[in-house]
Chains A and B, each alone.
Chain A
């Protein structure tokens, strides 16, 4: 697991983007009819169409944080996400992010980021913050 962001991480650095075009099949669980796979199940809950499983959508950001920080995400990483609006099961989503701060600590440097996901129309469907620990010699 190699971290892309290493020496010289600075405020304003952009995180690598991670994108995915979802399909309904991504959310199937055996033969269950859920709000993620079945139009009628979604409508019974007041939604017009099936919606993506939020954890799969958020997974784009976790993928992004792994790529960006490697061990610093797995061990000492934090993340706080808000799912602002439902994502349709056929939407295109892209995780984006930017470094917003760095704090020197006794055991390394904590790098803070804003992270978000946009859909195919540019709407921010997920917003949040994250932080990861990096060894001091990597910063």
Chain B
């Protein structure tokens, strides 16, 4: 007899966050983040997206990072507060200024919504990054589904993967 589906209750990094525990309005924290040349190289390699501006020089005086490199800091900040594995569902991004290497960006992130749709639970969070002059570099809004398995299944399984990851590109 096939086993019944269950949502993951805990993984190697501890107990998974539940929908009830997620607090709308909660500030997930802030962090300083410096993109390095190595991180840009890795991002280009991962996406197989190469351009002179990403690899050599740009009108801003040096190379710039692919805008999508901004994915990680907000995700790290979510995981520092809530152990959510799940799946990425929506990604909104606004590229206001190019992301330059070796410039400290200050990233602030907070939960802005949570909802249930099609028997699955979602968390929505937003982040904004500013440069040392205080100018906004990017804004982003993310929606993450907490589990692939529907919420009618018990939260009883043990996971291998985790929402908590090493904080690297």
A residues with a Cβ closer than 8 A to B are: 1, 20, 26, 29, 32-35, 38, 40-41, 44-47, 51, 54-56, 58-60, 62-63, 66, 71, 73-83, 86
Question: Quick one: which of B64, B71, B153 contacts A74, CB cutoff 8 A?
Answer: B64
Min C-beta distance of A1 to chain B, whole Å: 4
**Additional A-B contact list (14), CB under 8 Å, known A41-B161, A56-B46, A73-B95:** A1-B58, A33-B161, A34-B160, A46-B153, A54-B88, A62-B66, A63-B49, A66-B51, A66-B66, A78-B94, A79-B93, A83-B88, A83-B91, A86-B87
Q: From residue 59 to 96 of chain B, which have CB atoms closer than 8 A to chain A? A: 59, 64, 66-68, 71, 85, 87-96
User: Quick one: given A20-B48, A46-B148, A62-B66, are A71 and B160 in contact (CB under 8 Å)?
Assistant: no
- Docked Cα-Cα span, A44 to B97, in Å, equals 40
Give 8 closest A-B pairs by Cβ, nearest first.
A59-B47, A46-B149, A54-B88, A41-B160, A63-B49, A1-B53, A80-B92, A34-B161
Instruction: Give Cα distance in the complex from A34 to B5, angstroms.
Output: 19
> Main SS of chain A's interface residues?
mixed
Contact count A vs B, C-beta below 8 Å:
111
A83 touches B95 (CB 8 A): no
A62 touches B91 (CB 8 A): no
Q: Shortest CB–CB separation between residue A125 and chain B, in angstroms? A: 12
A62 touches B53 (CB 8 A): no
> Which residues of A are found within 8 Å of B47, using beta-carbon distances?
56, 59-60, 62-63
Task: Check: B52 CB closer than 8 A to any chain A CB.
Answer: yes
Number of interface residues of B (CB under 8 A): 40
Contacts of A45 in B (CB 8 A): 8, 85, 147-149, 159, 161
User: Which residues on the A side are within 8 Å of B49 (C-beta)?
Assistant: 59, 62-63, 66
User: A-contacting residues of B (Cβ < 8 Å)?
Assistant: 5, 7-8, 46-49, 51-53, 58-59, 64, 66-68, 71, 85, 87-98, 147-149, 153, 157-161, 165
Q: How far is it, in angstroms, between the C-alpha of A46 and the C-alpha of B8 when the chains are bound? A: 9
- CB A82 to nearest CB in B, in angstroms, measures 5
Q: List 23 A-B contacts (CB under 8 A).
A: A1-B52, A44-B157, A44-B161, A45-B147, A46-B7, A46-B148, A54-B91, A55-B71, A55-B88, A59-B47, A60-B47, A62-B66, A63-B48, A73-B95, A74-B53, A74-B64, A78-B92, A81-B91, A81-B92, A83-B88, A83-B89, A83-B90, A83-B91
